[in-house]
A and B are shown apart, each in its own frame.
Chain A
Amino acid sequence: MKSAHRKAIIGKIIVYILLIVIAAIMITPFLWMFSAAIKSDREVFKMNPFVFIPEVPKWSNYVDIWTKIPFAKFVENTFFLTIVVTILQLVTSSFAAYSFSKLEFRHRNGLFLAYIATIAMPWQVYMVPQFILMRKMGLNDKLLAIICLQAFSAFGVFLMKQFYEGIPNDLCEAARIDGMSEYKIYSTIMLPLSKPALATLIIFTFVNTWNDYLGPLIYLKTQEKKTIQLGLKMFISQYSSDYGLIMAGSMLSLIPVLIVFLCFQNYFVEGVASTGLKG
Chain B
Amino acid sequence: MSDMTTHHGGAAASIAIRDNYLAMARRKQMYGGILLVIFIAMMASGFHLADSRNAGGFWNGISQVFEFPSEVLTEGAAKAANLPGLLAEFLPSLIETLNIAAVSTFIGAVFGTILALLSTRGLARWPRLIPLFRRMMDGMRAIPEIVIALVLIFILGGGPVPAMIAIAFHTTGALGKLFSEVAENADLKPVEGLSSVGASWIQKMWLGVIPQVAPNWLSYALLRFEINIRASAILGFVGSGGIGHDLRLAMQWGQGKYDQVVAIFILLFVTIVFFDQLSSHYRNRMVKGR
Q: Do A and B come from one complex?
A: no
Residues of chain B touching chain A, judged by Cβ–Cβ distance below 8 Å, are none
Residues of chain A touching chain B, judged by Cβ–Cβ distance below 8 Å, are none
